[in-house]
Amino acid sequence: MIALLMRDLKLAFRAGGGFGLGLAFFLIVTVLVPFSVGPQSSLLATISPGVLWLGALLACLLSLDRLLALDWEDGSLDLLATAPLPLEAVVTIKALAHWITTGLPLVLAAPVLGVLLNLPQPGFVWLVVSLALGTPALSVIGTFGAALTVGLKRGGLLLSLLVLPLYVPTLIFGAEVARRGAISMETNTPLLMLAGITAGAVALLPFASAAVLRVNLR
């Protein structure tokens, strides 16, 4: 399992792996927001938690179609499926690798971009906490979407259509934590709900992803 994780990480970090692509996308979305809504700092302060969450979500989405597609094309997915490792573990590792290469950098970059969008002072901690808790769910749900569309020639657009509605609960609770944190409100309820969604998704979705992948590899 660890070998597989290291392999995926190495592939992502080396040239052509697309590491940092999500991060650059996140940066560009954040920079574009003031151009579209205007540079008033009070307005930016109000919308910054939501915008940062949406940007992180879209950046996650962007990298999903290469999550399994490259391994599908060169046949290593077939090898992994016949390996003694259960397919459920394989997709969990894939999701973990996706989170380390996409989710984690987003979490770390979010405060810096928060400065650009004039995020209120108490919001920084909650933004990082909510993203750290929520992005694993985004990766796991995204892995399910990638497993569904892996056999398709042009699955990218379909992948967004399938995955975005599934992202709704995570986005609502995650952005709510960040929003409440930014205006110094109590954040316990949405934070616990967000944690619940992440825990549930991490525990159950790998089974669905593996089942779907088996159908696609048939």
CA quadruple 56, 202, 146, 86: dihedral sign: positive
Q: Which is nearer to another protein, 127 or 213 (CB)?
A: 213
Q: Which is nearer to another protein, 12 or 140 (CB)?
A: 140
Decide: is 215 part of the binding site for another protein (CB under 8 A).
yes
The three-state secondary structure class of 85 is: coil
Contact residue for another protein among 15, 165, 186, 188 (CB under 8 A): 165
175 within 8 A of 50, measured Cβ to Cβ: yes
Decide: is 77 part of the binding site for another protein (CB under 8 A).
no
DSSP label at residue 83: S
| Part in contact with another protein (CB under 8 A); list of ranges 52-60, 100-108, 128-136, 154-162 | 154-162
Contact residue for another protein among 144, 181, 191, 202 (CB under 8 A): 144
State the distance between the two ends of the chain, measured CA to CA, in whole angstroms: 23
Distances (CA, A) of 76 to 13, 14, 134, 142: 18, 18, 30, 20
Positions in the binding site for another protein (CB under 8 A): 144, 148-149, 151-152, 155, 158, 161-162, 164-166, 168-169, 172-173, 176, 189-190, 193, 197, 205, 208, 211-212, 215-216, 218
